Amino acid sequence: MCDQTFLVNVFGSCDKCFKQRALRPVFKKSQQLSYCSTCAEIMATDGLHENETLASLKSEAESLKGKLEEERAKLHDVELHQVAERVEALGQFVMKTRRTLKGHGNKVLCMDWCKDKRRIVSSSQDGKVIVWDSFTTNKEHAVTMPCTWVMACAYAPSGCAIACGGLDNKCSVYPLTFDKNENMAAKKKSVAMHTNYLSACSFTNSDMQILTASGDGTCALWDVESGQLLQSFHGHGADVLCLDLAPSETGNTFVSGGCDKKAMVWDMRSGQCVQAFETHESDINSVRYYPSGDAFASGSDDATCRLYDLRADREVAIYSKESIIFGASSVDFSLSGRLLFAGYNDYTINVWDVLKGARVSILFGHENRVSTLRVSPDGTAFCSGSWDHTLRVWA
């Protein structure tokens, strides 16, 4: 487990030296202790054996990473576009905006679909979270969060609740109610507590568990009813910006991407990192699994999207073009996994042929950066949210 130190003003007896000092919470092998600052300093270099220094450990890690890349390259006997020569090319591709959802007074930051394939929840910079029936464009629920920059929101699988969070460092769950006498904010449940902003959240297979990613560099799994932390995931060296749950049949892993340019696959049960990929040149803003669960795509500030295969344990494709200069903020696959939709900070959406690696189409329409993009659960359309205050459904 990675050790981290955070600052908090508590005074008491240090768990190590037992002196009365100002204490900080410290995580040692996922157990929380309170150390005074001297003991915390000592702990940072704790565990070093003779002849070891932080620098030597760092260089050992680097050399192992190099060896790993070599090993990965040995089994790489063919490129994706070579294999894809046998597949027929996609025909003319036309997608248009079919619905425009106006109602947010500020930048739309995140959105998620309901399992009923037509409702969505979206959150914005001014703290407003809105639930829409996007087919009719009617707003069904609206909640104002007590914080601004609500960067994460999610719809519960049952369709009866939503979760959202942002600069308040928390993830809150709101049950959806149509009762006119009830204020939605009254039944709010604070579930997750991080020490920095919440960047992404997602329900697992039920309404009762939530997975969150935060700017404090960790991901965490929570029990909604009690707010209890079930498992935490340490390993990112910087803010975690996105996560996605695997659609696998034994459903126990998820992938996260962060500012440390790494995409990491985690085992939900043990909290261990199972695989890590570090080929992007900048922050990874979005990760999404391929429908079969054997691979995932990532979108990054380096203006590329990449496909990583989990069984081959390597990057297998890069989706980039010289004319695309701005970072990709969110990615998602079409139902068959043949198309990859990516929203960019240059206000456009690029559609990529996953197998052949070529760009199929570029969609204009938004008047500011595209911040979020999700394909609907039955693959009939996808929805994009933008800093221009609107959401668009394309089909």
Partner 1 sequence: MAAGPAPSGGRARAQRLHLSKMERVVLSMQDPDQGVRMRSQRLLITVVPHAVTGGDVVEWLIQKFCISQEEALHLGTLLVQHGYIYPLRDPGILVLRQDETPYRFQTPYFWTSTLWPAAELDYAIYLAKKNMRKQGSLLDHEKERYDQLHKRINHAWDLVLMQAREQLRAAKQRRKGDRLVIACQEQTFWLVNRPPPGSPNVLEQGPELSCCAASPVQMTKSSDFYKQEIECCRKALGRARVKSSVCLEAYLQFSVQHRLHDPMLSGCLPGNPWITDSAAYWAVNSPTAAAPTKLRVERWAFSFQELLEDPVGRAHFMDFLRKEFSAENLSFWEACEELRYGGQAQVPALVDAVYQQFLAPGAAHWVNIDSRTMERTLEGLRQPHRYVLDDAQLHIYMLMKKDSYPRFLKSDLYKGLLAEAGIPLETKRRVFPFPRKPWHASPSPALLPPSGEPMVAGGPDGGDSVA
Please give the residues from 231 up to 290 whose contact with partner 1 meets the rule CB under 8 A.
234-235, 237-239, 247-250, 259-260, 269, 273, 275-276, 281-283, 290
- Can you tell me which of 8, 10, 17, 395 binds partner 1, judged by CB under 8 A? 395
Q: Based on CB atoms, which residue is closest to partner 1, 14 or 197?
A: 197
Residue 67 as a binder of partner 1 (CB under 8 A): the answer is yes
Work out how close the CB of 216 gets to partner 1 at its nearest, in angstroms, rounded to a whole number: 6
- Say how far apart CA 332 and CA 351 lie, in whole Å: 10
Distance of CA 284 to the CA centre of its chain: 9
Work out how close the CB of 23 gets to partner 1 at its nearest, in angstroms, rounded to a whole number: 17
Give, as ranges, the residues between 14 and 43 that touch partner 1 (CB under 8 A): 43
- Can you tell me which of 21, 24, 119, 194 binds partner 1, judged by CB under 8 A? 119
Q: Based on CB atoms, which residue is closest to partner 1, 20 or 158?
A: 158
Q: Based on CB atoms, which residue is closest to partner 1, 215 or 385?
A: 215
Structure tokens at 31: 């157990």
Residue 72 as a binder of partner 1 (CB under 8 A): the answer is yes
- Say how far apart CA 173 and CA 329 lie, in whole Å: 25
Work out how close the CB of 19 gets to partner 1 at its nearest, in angstroms, rounded to a whole number: 22
- Count Cα atoms within 13 angstroms, Cβ side, for 60: 7
Q: Based on CB atoms, which residue is closest to partner 1, 13 or 140?
A: 140
User: Per-residue b/e over 250-279, b at no fewer than 16 CB within 10 Å?
Assistant: eeebbbbbbbbbbbbbbebeebebeebbeb
Residue 358 as a binder of partner 1 (CB under 8 A): the answer is no
Residue 100 as a binder of partner 1 (CB under 8 A): the answer is no
Three-state DSSP at 4 gives coil
Work out how close the CB of 12 gets to partner 1 at its nearest, in angstroms, rounded to a whole number: 22
* Burial of 339 from C-beta contacts in 10 A (0-12 / 13-18 / 19+): buried
- Can you tell me which of 115, 144, 182, 183 binds partner 1, judged by CB under 8 A? 115
- Say how far apart CA 162 and CA 376 lie, in whole Å: 17
Taking CA atoms, 163 is separated from 6, 88, 195, 197, 378, in Å, by: 26, 42, 18, 15, 22
